[in-house]
Amino acid sequence: MDADALVQVLLFISALGIYIHAVFLTISLGFPWIIMALMYKWWRTGDRDYYDATRTVTAVLGLNFALGAITGTLVEFGLVQAWPGSIFVIATFGFLPLTLELVAFVGEIIFLIMFIVTLGRTRPVTSTAIMAAYAIMAIFSGAVITTLNSWLNVPWGTANLAENLYPFLPQYGPSSVDVAALVRLKVELVRSSLASGHSSQIIQDPTFARRVGMTLRDPFVAFSSPYAMASILHNVSAAIIVGMSFGLVGYAYRFFKTGNEKYVKIIRSFLPLLLIFLVLQPTVFADSMGKMVAANQPTKFALMEAAQTTTFNPLVSFLAYGDAQHPVAGFDSFKAACESNQGRTIGDLFSHLVPDLDTEPLSSLALTDLCLTDLTKAEAWMSLVNTAYYTKLATGIVALLGLIALISTIFSTGILSKVTNRVLRPLSRKKVVLLLSLLVLLGSVSSAMLGWFVREGGRKPWTVYGLLYPTELVTPVSIDPFVLTLFTLTFVLMAIVGLYGIYIVATKRLRFIELLRKGAGIE
Amino acid sequence: MNSSGRGPGLNNLTNSELLGFSILGLSVVVHIIIVNITIGSGWISAMARFLAWIRGAPELEIMSRRVFKILIIHELFSGVWGTVITVILAGFFPTLTAIATDIIFYPILIALAAIFIRIPSIALFWYTWGKVKPSAHCILGFVMAFSGFGVPLGFRFIFAQITYPNAIELAMQGFRELSRVAVFFNPVYLPLIMHTWFGAMSIGGFIVASFFAIKGNVNVKFAWIGLWHGVLFLILQAFMGPWYLVTLGAKAPVLFDNILGAAGSTFNLLPVFATKMAIVASLGFLSVKVWRAVGRGVGQVPRYTLALGPIAVLVALIGEFMNDGGRYPFMVLTGQNGIRATEFMNVYLEMPIYTVVAIIAALVVFIGLFMATAYYALNRRFLADLPDGFAERT
C-alpha cells in the first residue's frame, strides 16, 4: 500500500476513532453540569428524587469515563501508530500540552472516584465542590488537547515560514523555531518519499534527528496562540452542550415511557444551564472562532463560504472581519498571490533560509507550481466543506429553537409558552417533551460532528497547515486489510457494548438481590 | 545507529537524559507492578464469580466482588501510568517511539485491542452486577480476565525487542517488511511472557490472601483461595525465572552479566539479585506457614498473612527493575554491546526540565492523593460490597 492509499484508509479510521471518542468525552464534559444542578436542587429542597437521579447519572458517568479513557487511548496511540510523523510534533510543540494533559487526566480520575465513594456520605455542598473540581479537570484536559490540535490548524510560532511557500497565508506569531531545522526536516521528508514512497520512517534514525537538531526554542508557544484560545472555548462548550443533551433525552425518554412528572422535574433542574451554553455558543464562542478562521486559515474560510472567487457579502464580512466592506477572499486571490512567486524555486527559497543546505531533489520545483497544486487540492474539498458548514449552522439553529420551545413547554414563559402550546397542541405533553429533546440532541450532535469535519477537512491538503502533508506523517507499514478491519471492528464492537452497558446502568433494575442477601449473610 | 561498547565513561548521561531515563524507568516499573496485581486479581474475581454461579455459592460472589474492588482501584492507577509512559516515550525518546510504532506495529496493535476490551469490560462487569443474567455476567468476567493477559501479550514484544533486537537489526539491513514479522519470533519473548503471566497470577493470589487477612475483612476461605493461587504460580515461577535468566545469558549478555555482577558489567545488580532471591525464599517460607495455619480454608488466618501481598509485590518490583534498569546506560541491547539512551533522546527542543519536574511532582502528589482516597474508601467499604442501591434498602 503506498502512502496515498494508507492516508485514505487511516484518515477514515482515525476520524471514526475521534468521533466515537467524542460521544464519551461529551458526556464526560456535560454530565458534571447535570450532576451539579441536581446536587444543588437536592441541597436546597431535600427532595430524594434529585439524589436518586444524581446516583444514576453518576453511575453512567463512571462507566462512560472508562469508555472515554479507552477510546482516548485509541486516539492517542492511533496518532503515533498510524501517523508516526506526528511524533515529531509531540516531541516539540505538543510536548508540554500532552504532559500537562497527564495532570488533567489524573485529576479527573481522582475527583470522579472521590465523588463516587463519598456521594451520600458528605454534605451536598461538599459533593458539589468535588464534582466541580472534576469538571475543571475535564475542561483542562479538553483545553490542552485542543491546544495541540489548534497548533496543527495554525502552526503558531513558525512566523512567516508557511507564508514563504503560500503568500496568501498570514504570519503565525513570533518565530520560536529554528527555521533551518524545519526546512531540513521538510527536505528529508520529501527526499525519503521520493526514494522509498514513504516519509515518516526517517524520524526513526537518531542520525537524522541530530542533523535536524534543536527545532523549538519556546516549548510554551502553542499556548500563546489566539486561535487555540478561541478553539478551546468553542470546542469545550460544544462538547458540554452535546453531553447535557444526552442527559436531557435520557430523562425525556423516561418521562415518555412512564409519564412520571418527576422526570420533568429533573429536566427542569438543568435546562437553564443548557440554555446559557446554547446561547453563548453561537453568539460569543462560535463568533470568535469564525473570526480566527478568517484571519488565520484563509483557504478554510473560503471553503466554508464556497468562495471560488473573491466576493462581497456584508453580513459574512461583518461577522468575520468586523467590517461589512471587507471582501471575502476567494481562491482567485490566492492563486494570484501564488503568482507573486513567479520565477522562484524551492531551491531559491531554502538556500535563502538555510545557505548550506542541499535541497535536491526539490531545488528546481517552482514555488508557484507548488502553491497552485496545493490550492487545487484544497479546492476539491469545497462542496463538502461548504455543505457541512451551512448544515452545521442550520442544525445548531434547530437545537437552539428546540431548546427554547422545550423551555416554554416546561416553564411558564408567558406569551412564548402560549404560542408553543398552541402549535404543539395536537401532541401529548409526553410526546412534545421527547420530540423537542430529540431536536436539541440531534441538532447539537449534528452541529458538533459537522463542525469537527469542517475544522479537520478545511485544513486539507495539509495536516500541519501550510507545512506538512498527511502522506509525510503516515505510517510506512503496509497494514494488512484483514488485521485493520479486525482491529476496527473490535473497537467499534466495544464501543457498542459500552453504550449498551450505559443503557443498562441507566435503566435496568437489580435482579439478584436475593442471592447477594444470602452471600452477605443478611438472610 | 551506533552500538557503543562496554567500558568506563559510558555512564555519563546529561541531566535531561538521566531525567528521561529515570522517569521512564519509574513509570514502567510502577505500571508493571500494578498491572500484575490487576491481572491476578481480575482472574481470581472472574473465577469466583463463575464458581458462585455454577455451585450456587453466593459467598463466592461476595468474594468476587471484594477482590474486584482491588482490581478497580489499581487498574485506574496502572492506566494513568500507562499513559504517562506513552507521553514520556514520545516526548523524551521520539526516535525509539518511532521505531516501535513501525517495527513492533502489530504487537502494539494486539495490546491496544486487549486494552479496548479490558477497560470497558471492567466497567461493565462492575456496573452490570446484578443487572444481567449470571451466565452473561460470568462471560463478561472471563472476557475481562483474559483481556488482562492480552495487554502484556502485546507489549512484552517491545521489551523482548529492546533486549534482543532481531527485528530491528533486520530493518536496519533493509528488510523492513520481514522485520515486522520477525518481531514475533524473538527467542527472548516466550520465557519473558510466561515469567510475566505466572508472576501476575502469583502476585494476584498473594494480594488476595493478604486482603482477606485485614482486620474487619478476615475470611479464611477467601484467604485460602488467594493463597493456593499464589503458591501454585510461585512454584511454577521456580522454572520460569531460571528459563528466562538462561535465555538472557545466551541472547542478552549485557543484561545477564549485570544481573549476576560479572566482570565488565555496566551496572552491577548482583546485590539486588541476591536480595530478590532472599525475598523469594522468605515468601516461600511464609507461604508454607500460612498454608498450615489456614488449613484448606477451615483454620485461622494468621496476622502475618498480611505480609504475603507486599512481599510478592516487592519481588516483582525488584525483578522488573533488574529487567529494565539492568540495561543501563543502554536502551537497546545488541549482544555484547548496546545502544545508549542518549541515541534516542529528544534533540528537537531544549527540555524544560523544571517544568517537567514540576508536572511529574504534581502527578506524584495527585496519585498519592488518589491512592489514599482509594485505599480509605476500600478500607471503609465506601465501594459497596453489594450493588448500588442495595445497601440503602436493607
Find the CB nearest B79 among A69, A103, A519: A69
- What's the pLDDT score for residue B6? 57
- What's the pLDDT score for residue B393? 36
Report yes or no: B105 at the A interface, CB cutoff 8 Å. Answer: yes
Do B359 and A494 make contact, defined as CB atoms within 8 angstroms?
no
| pLDDT value at B379 more than 80 | no
Are B217 and B307 found together in one domain?
yes
The C-alpha cell that represents B283 in the structure block:
515468601
Domain edge (last residue) among B328, B353, B372: B328
Residue A445 CB partners (closer than 8 Å, separation 6+): A242, A245
Domain that holds residue B196: 187-328
List, in sequence order, the alpha helices (H) in A123-225.
124-153, 161-165, 179-196, 206-212
Contacts of A81 in chain B (CB under 8 A): 101, 105, 108-109, 112
Adjacent-strand bridge partners of B143: none
CA distance B94 to chain A (A): 6
A198 within a domain of the structure (yes/no) = no
Give dist(CA B275, CA A299) in Å, integer: 65
Interface A-B, measured as beta-carbon pairs within 8 A, has a size of: 242
pTM: 0.86
Give dist(CA A262, CA A495) in Å, integer: 31
Residue showing cell 462471560: B139
**3-state DSSP of A49-114:** HHHHHHHHHHHHHHHHHHHHHHHHHHHHHHHHHHCCCHHHHHCCCCHHHHHHHHHHHHHHHHHHHH
A350 within a domain of the structure (yes/no) = no
Residue showing cell 539486588: B272
Candidates B96, B108, B110, B124: best to mutate against A (most CBs of A within 10 A) is: B124
Query: Which of these, A252, A274, A275, lies nearest to A263 by C-alpha position?
Result: A252
Q: What is the 8-class DSSP label of residue B188?
A: T
B15 within a domain of the structure (yes/no) = no
Domain that holds residue A445: 3-160+169-177+216-296+381-469+480-519
Q: Looking at residues B26-32, what average pLDDT do you find? A: 84
Report yes or no: B184 at the A interface, CB cutoff 8 Å. Answer: no
For B120-160, what is each residue's pLDDT tens digit? 888 788 878 887 888 999 999 999 999 999 999 999 999 99
Query: Which of these, A318, A410, A61, A201, lies nearest to B127 by C-alpha position?
Result: A61
Give dist(CA A454, CA A180) in Å, integer: 32
Phi, psi of A84 (to 5 degrees): -60, -20
Task: Indicate the number of domains in chain A.
Answer: 1
Q: Are A401 and A367 in contact (CB under 8 A)?
A: no
B368 within a domain of the structure (yes/no) = no
Task: Indicate the number of domains in chain B.
Answer: 2
For B218-229, what is each residue's pLDDT tens digit? 899 999 999 999
B115 within a domain of the structure (yes/no) = yes
Dihedral sign from CA coordinates of A300, A302, A304, A309: negative
A339 within a domain of the structure (yes/no) = no
Q: Are A474 and A7 in contact (CB under 8 A)?
A: yes
Give dist(CA B227, CA B305) in Å, integer: 9
List, in sequence order, the alpha helices (H) in B173-269.
176-182, 189-211, 220-251, 253-260
Do A519 and B58 make contact, defined as CB atoms within 8 angstroms?
yes
B367 within a domain of the structure (yes/no) = no
| pLDDT value at B384 more than 60 | no
Are B222 and B160 found together in one domain?
no
Among residues 331-350 of chain B, which lie with CB inside 8 Å of chain A? Answer: 343-344, 346-350
For chain A, the first-to-last Cα distance in angstroms comes to 65
B231 within a domain of the structure (yes/no) = yes
| pLDDT value at B15 more than 80 | no
Contacts of B349 in chain A (CB under 8 A): 91-92, 95, 214-217, 219
Are B243 and B269 found together in one domain?
yes
Domain edge (last residue) among B328, B346, B361: B328
Question: Is residue A352 packed enough to be buried (19+ CB in 10 Å), middle (13-18) or exposed (0-12)?
Answer: exposed
Adjacent-strand bridge partners of A175: A158
Are B154 and B245 found together in one domain?
no
For B309-365, what is each residue's pLDDT tens digit? 999 999 999 999 999 989 888 889 998 889 988 888 899 988 888 888 888 888 788
Phi, psi of A177 (to 5 degrees): -120, 160
Do B99 and A77 make contact, defined as CB atoms within 8 angstroms?
no
A203 within a domain of the structure (yes/no) = no
Give dist(CA A142, CA A508) in Å, integer: 32
B365 within a domain of the structure (yes/no) = no
Q: In this structure, are strands B337-340 and B330-334 parallel, antiparallel, or unpaired?
A: antiparallel
Per-residue pLDDT of chain A (523 residues; tens, 9 = 90+): 788 889 988 999 899 989 999 999 999 999 999 999 999 999 999 999 999 999 889 988 988 888 888 788 778 777 888 999 999 999 999 999 999 998 898 889 888 888 887 888 889 999 999 999 999 999 999 999 999 999 999 999 999 999 999 999 999 999 999 998 998 898 888 888 888 888 888 888 888 899 899 999 999 999 999 999 999 999 999 999 999 999 999 999 999 999 999 999 999 999 999 999 999 999 999 999 999 999 999 999 999 999 999 999 999 999 999 999 999 999 999 999 999 988 888 888 888 888 887 877 778 889 999 999 999 999 999 999 999 999 999 999 999 999 999 999 999 888 998 988 888 888 899 999 999 999 999 999 999 999 999 999 999 999 999 999 999 999 988 888 888 888 888 888 888 888 888 888 787 654 334 444 433 344 3
- What's the pLDDT score for residue B394? 30
Which one is predicted more confidently, B352 or B193? B193
Domain edge (last residue) among B181, B209, B242: B181
A140 within a domain of the structure (yes/no) = yes
Helix (H) or strand (E) holding A175: strand A172-175
A426 within a domain of the structure (yes/no) = yes
Q: Are A68 and A24 in contact (CB under 8 A)?
A: yes
Range from A355-359, B186-190, B198-202, B342-346 carrying the lowest mean pLDDT: A355-359
- What's the pLDDT score for residue A388? 97
What count of other Cβ atoms lies within 10 Å of the Cβ of residue A118? 17
Give dist(CA B120, CA A74) in Å, integer: 13
A243 within a domain of the structure (yes/no) = yes
For B241-258, what is each residue's pLDDT tens digit? 999 999 999 999 999 999
B378 within a domain of the structure (yes/no) = no
Contacts of A215 in chain B (CB under 8 A): 348-349
Contacts of A70 in chain B (CB under 8 A): 115-116, 118-120
Do A494 and B116 make contact, defined as CB atoms within 8 angstroms?
yes
Contacts of B135 in chain A (CB under 8 A): none
ipTM score for this prediction: 0.82
CA distance B266 to chain A (A): 23
